[in-house]
Structure 1
Amino acid sequence: MKVLDLSRILAGPFATMHLADLGADVIKVELPGRGDETRHWGPPFAADGTAAYFTVANRNKRALTLDLGSAPGAAIARRLATAADVLVDNFLPGRLARFGLDPDALRTANPGLVTCTITGFGSDSAAAGRPSFDFLAQAAGGLMSITGAEDGVPTKVGVAIVDLAAGLFATTGILAALRRRDHTGQGAHVEVPLFDAVVGLLANQAANWLVGGVEPVPMGNAHPNIVPYESFPTADRPLALAVGTDRQFVRLVAVLGVPELADDDRFRTNADRVRHREALRPVLIARLATAPRSRWLELLDEAGVPAAPVNTVPEVFADPLVAQRLLVEVDGGVQVRSPVRLDGRPLPVTDAPPALGRDTDAILAGLGLDAGEIGRLRSAGVA
């Protein structure tokens, strides 16, 4: 499977990285001398000067530098697209047409091509021409209004969750289009707007408003529909409780030494506990304060009550489970593997995120260009 990646920043590269993890031959196209913006979003920087940010979405790819704004560069990109199965971009609507790379034009030469564009607000919307970033999507899409401490300022999620989700939505759409192509021989155009992606992530909070007329508000770590389902302090460090069933609540209060709460009319069912969360929470806090977190985690695990430590990022990567399952060293750097496993095996990480233009000569030579032609393209700033 050949993928031409004309995207940059995070959502598009994250999608194409997952395709690369699954075995696709992905060619990442970047501007000569500058590259993807995320190569410069630091510190921290790797030893070669590349920002750490770039490494999270670009492994297992080949790197080509090409100025799409030049006629020779656009012509080379069209040749690559003609031989590709998938093309991914995140240009503003209409921009690719300037280079002769719009989906309709490309499918005339390559009917089976699947194209995918990640936009800000959708190419068919009144806001089509507006650029967007993850932070703006979180703000405009309502996610910030439900994130953070109660009565606190609206807060974004600690990672670019909308970009990441849009990348995953794009991957799903691409795979579905390829599956359809298997039957019809015809490609398709996939579009994922960041704004649509964040609204799609509102999930139960959207339903709380649309179905129940309940306006969601920030609740810290508490859950609007499940109680107790949040973090609690202990005698030393916080832990997270996720009591999703009434039977789990019975086991929880037994572990905490207050089994009578299970028979209290205020707490018998989850709906009761949601209505009376302010009465229940102080009791749980008081009991959990009597022992350290490690002891509670041991007892809760024995009782089958879902709980977890509230770990820092360094603690996450010190966990042997993470080191054994998710970390892999390649070309002297460490990558976090794809969480996908096929037949019990992790997806391979065979290549570190590439240096800018690392594979340009090889890719151009594969198109039939000789060393002299490649040298002239470099001298002209095209490649």
Structure 2
Amino acid sequence: MKQIQGILDPFYEYGIKEAVRLHGPLSGVRVVDLTRVLAGPYCTMILGDMGAEVIKIEAPGGNDDTRGWGPPYVKGESAYYLCTNRNKKAMTLNLKSEKGKDILKKIIKQSDILIHNFKTGTMEKWGLDYESLKYDHPELIYCHISGFGETGPLRHLAGYDFAIQAMSGLMSITGSEESGPMKVGVAITDVLTGLYANIGIQSALLEREKSGLGQAIDISLYDAAISSLVNAASNYLVSGKVPERLGNYHPNITPYQTFKVKDGEMVVAVGNDRQFQMFADCINAPELKEDPRFITNSDRMSHREELEALIHEKLMQDDTDKWIHLFREKGIPCAPIQNIDEVFNDRHVMAREMVIEMDHTNGEKISMVGSPLKMSRTKVSYELPPPMVGEHTDEILQQLGISEEECQVLKDQKII
């Protein structure tokens, strides 16, 4: 016990919260965050949740468009902005000025990671591209998120999730023939890109432990969206057949879809022949197990419409709760179709701490989605609420040795 106490002693002077944060899996890592909107801020929030110190830098007055993407708002801050910006310090800096660029370079010198999502060519124009920075900071991990990447004929185009969903093929396989092409209900390519950026950054951190060197990471929304096509892409590449919009049907498995029941609709996701055998018993249709049209998944895919009609007739005899209880008892994948209100009142969601509360700087309590990362020892923590524009500018500059008086001069010159 004395040994353990000795290890913990240095943390007590900081208090419990700081001690927890020092134990975060990325504690000691510093991130310069020049991103805005969703993909980049989502990536850096995850890094912050895991203990990294994230410095969010915006132009004077703020240039993260999502601050104004509402309603709803919490005292002027949009719910959209709040969803991806906790665990960050915020400062403002005019990167079009030489003084602003000099200050940024000093911050980078003390940092491990720089991430930005300016259009391709912008950082080169400012002399802040990887090639320009790596000589003074060879350990720097430099991540650029863009719409179409740094190579290829579309590299100079801006990237917007909706447009990328359309171009990447995602919309062509989402929706039904009746609905026409549909986007996913959230900006899914932004979310995926933020996750890929996170994977790339943490891989580079691990590799740096061996080589001592940083590297550049080129992540695009278009690439991330195409990678998400998974089996739809593979089906096409193997067969040459363009996938169709199937609504809630699965292109390779059945029954794996929504079904109408007595009180609405629910999902049934029978993934193999063994599960189908149990499913047939559950819906009181044992004859389906012996029917040559339905014995294997390939058989069922060849006779999908006949099978769907038979299942529909059975499922309409009871309501969602009855079927969910029966199917779960037998290990058959299924789910109710919940709206967002039902999700955030779900006992399991609460038990998994997927809803958290933070005290915002403006005095309000804000509810946020918790991190899905559940780590046994180096847990995620929620230390800083989403910051106001430039909230920590003076603090960060003073850490660089810039006095209060000099900070005021920089404000007067519109550098910060």
TM-score by length of 2: 0.90
Q: Is the 8 A contact 2:261 2:320 kept in 1?
A: yes
> Do residues 333 (structure 1) and 360 (structure 2) align?
no
Instruction: Name the SS of the counterpart of 1:233 in structure 2.
Output: strand
Give the match for residue 380 of structure 1: 413
Q: Distance in 2 between matches of 1:374 and 1:215?
A: 59
Q: Distance in 1 between matches of 2:264 and 2:383?
A: 39
Q: Distance in 2 between matches of 1:380 and 1:280?
A: 73
Q: Is the 8 A contact 1:338 1:346 kept in 2?
A: no
Q: Distance in 2 between matches of 1:109 and 1:184?
A: 17
Instruction: Name the SS of the counterpart of 1:350 in structure 2.
Output: coil
> Do residues 207 (structure 1) and 234 (structure 2) align?
yes
Q: Distance in 1 between matches of 2:338 and 2:32?
A: 38
> Do residues 364 (structure 1) and 397 (structure 2) align?
yes
Q: Distance in 2 between matches of 1:256 and 1:28?
A: 55
CA-atom RMSD in angstroms? 1.2
Q: Is the 8 A contact 1:117 1:191 kept in 2?
A: yes
Q: CA deviation at 1:77?
A: 0.9
1:27 pairs, out of 50, 55, 59, with: 55
Q: CA deviation at 1:299?
A: 0.8
Q: Distance in 2 between matches of 1:102 and 1:24?
A: 23
Instruction: Name the SS of the counterpart of 2:139 in structure 1.
Output: coil
Q: Is the 8 A contact 1:35 1:65 kept in 2?
A: no
Q: CA deviation at 1:88?
A: 0.3
| 2:30 counterpart letter in structure 1 | K
TM-score by length of 1: 0.98
Distance 1:299 1:196, change over 3 A: same
Mark the runs of 5 or more structure 2 residues left unpaired by the alignment.
1-28, 360-364
Give the match for residue 116 of structure 1: 143
2:385 pairs, out of 337, 341, 352, with: 352
> Do residues 127 (structure 1) and 180 (structure 2) align?
no
Instruction: Name the SS of the counterpart of 2:356 in structure 1.
Output: strand
Mark the runs of 5 or more structure 1 residues left unpaired by the alignment.
none
1:267-306 residue pairs with structure 2 within 5 A? 267-306=294-333
Q: How many residues align?
A: 382
Q: CA deviation at 1:161?
A: 0.4
| 1:341 counterpart letter in structure 2 | K
> Do residues 89 (structure 1) and 116 (structure 2) align?
yes
Q: Distance in 1 between matches of 2:351 and 2:415?
A: 43
Give the match for residue 218 of structure 1: 245
Give the match for residue 175 of structure 1: 202
Q: Percent identity?
A: 42
Q: Is the 8 A contact 1:82 1:106 kept in 2?
A: no
Q: CA deviation at 1:324?
A: 2.5
Q: Distance in 1 between matches of 2:410 and 2:33?
A: 20
> Do residues 67 (structure 1) and 100 (structure 2) align?
no
Q: CA deviation at 1:104?
A: 1.2
Deviations 1:189-218 (A, max 9, x none): 011111111110000000110002221111
Q: Is the 8 A contact 2:114 2:141 kept in 1?
A: yes
Q: Distance in 1 between matches of 2:214 and 2:379?
A: 29
> Do residues 41 (structure 1) and 74 (structure 2) align?
no
Q: Distance in 2 between matches of 1:271 and 1:381?
A: 67
Distance 1:22 1:105, change over 3 A: same
Q: Distance in 2 between matches of 1:319 and 1:300?
A: 19
